[in-house]
Chains A and B, each alone.
Chain A
Amino acid sequence: MALEVRIHQRLGAFDLQAEFAAAQGVTALFGPSGAGKSSIVRAVAGLSRPRQGRIVLAGRVLLDTDRGVFVPPQARRAVLMFQDARLFPHMTVEGNLLFGWRRARAKAGPDEIARVISLLGLEKLRQRMPRSLSGGEKSRVALGRALLAAPDILLLDEPLASLDAARKAEILPYLERLRSEQDIAMLYVSHAVEEVARLADSVVLIREGRVTGQGPVFDMLTGIHAGLPALGAVLEATMTGQRTDGLAELAFSGGIIAVSATPPTGARLRLRIAAEDILIAREQPQAISANNILPVIVSRIALVGELADVELLCGAARLVARITAASARRLELAAGARVYAIVKSVTVDRNAGPFP
């Protein structure tokens, strides 16, 4: 494990108790605002000092209250990228990028620096001052600055939350590339399910200062978890071939799914399906516009007011359909029922990379 965390911290009336581990790749701390996610990454960074606990990063003990160990932030090699970027206003973009690099023990060579700069598309910004950058550019510089500091773990505290939708769409691909091209552990704090579904390898669910679940992103985000927005499915799929009708066939653990994309054969992709985009039919529908109709078994139904989240097993994969409670009654859905899932639309994320 790259990171092991067990902390107990009291912040006013708020009581935070968290225990989890994170491997290489992206671990998302996922939960609603005010759940204590930011407090956890601040404790990992060393910016706060939990009353009790133990934090181990890459075999180094950073905190052990029983033995009085507290490594200061500057010696932790755990770089925190803040929501507001926090670029140094009196330095150029290049000065910012190299700030942590100059202080790093294992310095990246010129090739590696150039690679990070091009990975984040910062070539043309090097001599600019931070105040002249857009919000998205600032985020990219902050990300590059953190990477070049050669941390053992990159902590990202809601890095996209202060950006508008267009800026988010601008940054997300960079984060995806980072994930697939950089062998680094990342702890990614977010309350946005789309970001987590797109980026995370594993997910730690945080609620009211407690860890309520932990596991691979597929298990944690699909399926019915109390208090979480239902996500239809997050699937790992492999491109198997192009069909004559132009659609690409992707194999996943529940069978074959067809999407309109043209990835190279053998490419591994991440697919996301919104719970609202899955319909349920008792009998196999004929002559329907949807491209994907999967035979599934109902495993669980959770009523959420007028809505019903229906958990469906499709081979080894799990899907969640959000339908109205009235529809669930009319179809007489119950655990064990054999039905058909009609998938209206599938989002294909590129650069999904290997999953653990």
Chain B
Amino acid sequence: MILLDPAESEALLLSLRVAGVAVAVSLPFALAAALLLARGRFFGKGLLDGLVHLPLVLPPVATGFILLMLLGTRAGLGGFLFAHFGIRLVFRWTGAALASAILTFPFQVRAIRLVLEAQGLGLDEAARTLGAGWWDRLFSITLPLAMPGLIAGAITAFAAALGEFGAIITFVSNIPGETRTLPLAIYTALQTPGGEVEAARLSGLSIGMALIFMGLAQAVTRYALLRDV
């Protein structure tokens, strides 16, 4: 990176890694949740719907705090994972990825659910009487047709994950090279006397990233719309 100093490019690359892993990890779960919400008929569907959307309305700091309570090495679940599998999420970039995954989950679910609902069950029924079972139909009909929604949802979630701040700083703190993503680097610069120029550079970088990925998401959606006409 010619235009960025080492600390800046470190923050940028870390941000991209955290957001990428966050989206990749949450995608299968988002797909499952979207399938359940779009096609399932079961008791507690409203509850699941609310739960999926919770991160949208909850303050990110609160989400980070809840994660810390659950997954800290001295907490119940976190202690268990650490003692038996050596998995530690606090103060690690993987923890940052987990927090980002949870916070951007609703974006993915919504995008996938919309295409699934638009798709309807007609083609699924046709495939069924032609001899295709559930997994077969998922991979031959449902997923290929939902692909634009999956991609648009993933890109939007990725762009949103790049901006995650509150949950990350609360859950995994602000460690250079480990958990200091772009937003945390901006925050750090602002805490440093005379760091405004640095903060402005990093903000510009964030804006650039956001524009690129939102543009991509729009292009995918437009392509999908044109294709289906």
Q: Report A's interface with B, CB cutoff 8 A.
A: 45-47, 72-80, 82, 84, 86, 88-90, 99-100, 103-104, 131, 145-146, 149, 155
Contact = CB atoms under 8 A, between A and B. Distances in A.
B145 A89 contact: yes
A145 B128 CA distance: 13
Contact of A86 (B126, B132, B133, B229): B126
Given A82-B122, A103-B136, A88 B129 contact: no
A43 to B, nearest CB: 12
Nearest to B128: A73
A149 B127 CA distance: 11
Nearest to A90: B144
Given A86-B123, A103-B132, A103-B136, 5 more contacts: A46-B128, A73-B129, A88-B123, A99-B132, A104-B131
Interface residues on B, range: 10 to 19
B144 A100 contact: no
B126 A82 contact: yes
Contact of B122 (A46, A86, A99): A86
Contact of B129 (A76, A89, A131): A76
Contacts of B58: none
Interface in B49-105: none
Contacts of B136: 74, 103
A145 B130 contact: yes
B141 A88 contact: yes
Contacts of A76: 129
B132 A74 contact: yes
A327 to B, nearest CB: 50
Given A80-B126, A88-B123, A89-B228, A74 B145 contact: no
Given A88-B141, A89-B228, A103 B122 contact: no
B117 interface: no
Across chains A and B, which 5 residue pairs bring their CB atoms closest together, nearest first? A103-B131, A100-B130, A86-B126, A73-B128, A80-B129
A79 B126 CA distance: 8
A148 to B, nearest CB: 9
A100 B140 CA distance: 12
Contact of A47 (B128, B133, B141, B144): B128
B125 interface: yes
Interface in B102-144: 122-123, 125-133, 136, 140-141, 144
B17 to A, nearest CB: 33
Contacts of A86: 122-123, 125-126
A116 to B, nearest CB: 15
Given A79-B130, A146-B130, A149-B130, A47 B125 contact: yes
A78 B136 CA distance: 18
A74 B137 CA distance: 10
B147 to A, nearest CB: 9
A46 B125 CA distance: 10
22 contacts: A46-B128, A46-B129, A47-B125, A47-B128, A47-B129, A74-B129, A74-B136, A79-B130, A86-B123, A86-B126, A88-B123, A88-B141, A90-B144, A90-B145, A99-B130, A99-B140, A100-B130, A100-B131, A104-B131, A131-B229, A149-B130, A149-B131
B229 to A, nearest CB: 8
A79 B145 contact: no
Contacts of A149: 130-131
A89 B228 CA distance: 8
Contacts of B129: 45-47, 73-74, 76, 78-80, 155
B124 to A, nearest CB: 10
B126 A103 contact: no
A74 B229 CA distance: 30
Nearest to A149: B130
Q: With a 10 A CB-CB cut-off, give which of B131, B132, B145, B229 has the most chain A CB atoms.
A: B131
